[in-house]
Amino acid sequence: MTPHVIAVARDDTHRFSKVPAEEITLLKGLGVEGDAHCGETVKHRSRVKADPTQPNLRQVHLYQAELFDEYAEKGFTVGPADLGENITTRGIDLLALPKGAVLELGREARVEITGLRNPCAQIDAFQPGLLSAFICRDANGKLMRRTGVMGIVLASGKVRPDDPIVVHLPEGEHRALERV
């Protein structure tokens, strides 16, 4: 399956879920136009409280729809924009990408992956018990966070459902994603 966008969303206030849209505009160095997390410096409330001058490495939140299918098998109903993601994808394992991978989204937009979204208690407020579905351990016992990836906008552009995604891996040794 060719990697592609299945949904896009934004929200101008800090709510857990976002509002699905027909298209979003990514702004270089800022994030999603009209989204509460758009800006050069961090916009997530807990991080602003700690240090409002830190760079915004969480301008865009991406999530792979394949995980929705897994959660459905466990009795949860989760769909695009429900988890606060801006871009929902299909056909690409976002969690397996290395830090610094660049995604071409549609014809113009480019997003560099900076790290993993850290799961929070709001997930259980959305659906009780869902947080435990997001956090698991791999075969070596390492904690796995399955709440999507975060990125920064390298090139502005519109992103729409059905847009293709092209992955460019960084040169040199690949570093695993860590929470940002």
At 60-107, the pLDDT tens digits run: 999 999 999 999 999 999 999 999 999 999 999 999 999 999 999 999
In a domain, 176, yes or no: no
> pLDDT of 18-27, one tens digit each?
999 999 999 9
Sign of CA dihedral 42, 62, 6, 72: negative
Domain-located, residue 49 = yes
Is pLDDT of 132 > 90?
no
Task: Evaluate whether 62 touches 85 at the Cβ level (below 8 Å).
Answer: yes
Please check whether residue 178 lies inside any domain of the structure. no
Q: Distance between CA 21 and CA 160 in Å, rounded?
A: 8
Residue 92 placed within a domain: yes
pLDDT exceeds cutoff 90 at 140: no
Residue 125 tokens, joined: 């407020």
Strand spans (E) along the chain: 4-10, 19-21, 24-27, 31-32, 60-64, 87-90, 102-105, 109-116, 135-137, 143-145, 149-155, 157-159, 165-168
Residue 6 binned pLDDT confidence (cut-offs 50, 70, 90): very high
Take residue 44 and report the two structure tokens written for it: 């997530």
Question: What's the pTM?
Answer: 0.95
In the chain, the number of structural domains is: 1
Identify whether 18 is part of a domain. yes
Domain-embedded: residue 155: yes
Q: Among 48-57, 125-134, 159-168, name the most confident range.
A: 159-168
Round to whole Å and give the CA distance between 27 and 152.
9
> Does 177 fall in a domain?
no
Q: Is residue 175 assigned to a domain?
A: no
**Distance (Å, whole) CA 127 – CA 107:** 36
Please report, for the domain that includes residue 31, its CATH number.
2.40.33.20
Question: How far apart (Å, rounded) are the C-alpha atoms in residues 6 and 167?
Answer: 16
Instruction: Give me the domain span that covers residue 59.
Output: 4-168
